Amino acid sequence: MSYIECKIPPFPILIKGGYAIFEKGAKHFKRVFTVFDLIYVKSGELFITEDNIPYTIKAGQYIILVPGFEHFGHKDCQVKTEYYWLHFMMPNNYELVEAGIENWAEIYVEEGDFIHPATYRFCLPCVGEIENVTFVETIFDNLTKINHQTSDFQLRQQLYFQEFLIHLQKEACKIPTAAKRVVEETVKYVQEHYKEEVKMEAIANALHFHPDYITRCMQKIIGITPNMYLNQYRVNQAKRLLATTDEKVASISKEVGILDSTYFSKLFKRIEGISPLEYRNVIHRKDRRG
């Protein structure tokens, strides 16, 4: 199965959406489209071929038809078939890949700063089955039934569309509930205690789990160990202080829980690629230009 993958932002943009019916004996016409076409079947069955591959899309399932590939109905609908359709555009950097995202840790690509947004991977299966049908069909109803006379209807459509795509991403990337809770508690502990000496044994005692299990959960869900998260969180707090205060580096180092300022500077440079003072100078130069 193919997946559509891109980096966001920018987010995919909805062009137009609607609700339609194929009566028994009807089928989708042949065409090569210039934008993405998502079809979600509410009831019945839709028989459609894309790039010479036939698909049967049943109630509760969807297909995303890709620009440049010929698609057509290869068989008449056997029963009355209701469906929603969405035409949308993806960022120019999208690609078709053969493997999807297996866990949420793979979503995150690059952290943002004060003037650049964080970057994420966005990866959707071209064919899929919706788990929470009621939720998704409510979104489709809201999206297609917005009063076009209101001045904000186009903006509201984009918001519903984004909510729908995020839901698809979540369903395609399942997160183990128990492991997720462990990660949430670990993250909470680190954020509450990062100014202190944080040891793995202390986290394990607070959460009542073995250190190895906590580490496995962190690596599976967010892709890093508890210690790596602690270091990143401390550096992020240091970046905020460097940008908003005139405190010395040694003072900021202690403020974020690292008593050895030399080690702090090395850690900061390893994570950010520049020293704390260089980071402060870059931020201040940008502020002066702005």
Write the CA distances from 118 to 92, 93, 104, 114, 229, integer angstroms: 18, 16, 15, 10, 16
Q: What is the mean pLDDT of residues 217-228?
A: 90
Q: Which is more confident, 114 or 95?
A: 95
Q: In which band, very low, low, confident or very high, does the pLDDT at 289 lie, cut at 50, 70 and 90? A: low
With contact defined as beta carbons under 8 Å apart, do 157 and 17 qualify?
yes
Q: Considering only CA atoms, which of 59, 101, 80, 85 is closest in space to residue 220?
A: 101
Task: Determine which of 63-67, 107-111, 157-161 has the lowest per-residue pLDDT on average.
Answer: 107-111
Please give the backbone phi and psi of residue 248, each rounded to the nearest 5 degrees, phi first: -70, 160
DSSP state of 187: H
CATH number belonging to domain 177-289: 1.10.10.60
Question: 253-289 b/e with 16+ CB inside 10 Å = b?
Answer: bbebbbeebeebbebbeebbeeebeebbeebeeeeee
Is 103 exposed, middle or buried, given 0-12, 13-18 or 19+ CB atoms closer than 10 A?
middle
- 């299990």: which residue's tokens? 213
What pLDDT, on a 0 to 100 scale, did the predictor assign at position 118? Answer: 83
Task: Determine which of 5-9, 68-72, 166-170, 284-288 has the lowest per-residue pLDDT on average.
Answer: 284-288
Neighbours of 16 (CB within 10 A): 11
- Residue 131 CA neighbour count, 13 Å, CB half: 8
Q: Which neighbouring-strand residues pair with 125? A: 3
What pLDDT, on a 0 to 100 scale, did the predictor assign at position 154? Answer: 82
CATH number belonging to domain 3-172: 2.60.120.280
pLDDT reading at 8 higher than 70: yes
pLDDT reading at 149 higher than 70: no
Question: Does the predicted model carry a pTM greater than 0.95?
Answer: no
pLDDT reading at 245 higher than 80: yes
Domain edges within the chain: 3-172, 177-289
Residue type, 193: H
Q: pLDDT digit string (tens) for 178-187?
A: 888 899 899 9
pLDDT reading at 174 higher than 80: no
- Helices (H) then strands (E): counts for the chain: 9, 13
